[in-house]
Amino acid sequence: MKLFAYTVSLLLISFSSNSFSASAFAGRAKAAQVCSQCHGIKNPSAEAPFPPLAGRDELYLEKALRQYRNKTRKSDIMNNIAAGLSNRDINNIAEYYTRLKP
């Protein structure tokens, strides 16, 4: 049992020290601040014209956000919103939405 706990904690340390590992929890917090107004924290409003993100492919979400950020994909609204996101934010947000059941 002790050994198990030790292994788990080691794993956790190595997991969290990896700067590229995305966190769905951090993604949820960021999504609540940045994305949920339009796309919903789970689903967009039944009345909203915005696409749902739940269960979308993680790489697609990351790529889209990066393109919005560097303006290779044009959108009045998304270019502004994505401009404030770091690489880590983008990974976390994608991780969060991709894990949601659509």
Where do contacts with other proteins occur on this chain (CB under 8 A)? 32-33, 36-38, 40-43, 45-50, 76-77, 80-81
Q: Identify which of residues 18 and 49 has a Cβ nearer to other proteins in the complex.
A: 49
Q: Identify which of residues 2 and 74 has a Cβ nearer to other proteins in the complex.
A: 74
DSSP codes of every residue in 34-99: HTHHHH-SSS--TT--SPP-TT--HHHHHHHHHHHHTTSS--HHHHHHHTT--HHHHHHHHHHHHH
Shortest distance in whole angstroms from residue 35 CB to other proteins:
9
Shortest distance in whole angstroms from residue 54 CB to other proteins:
12
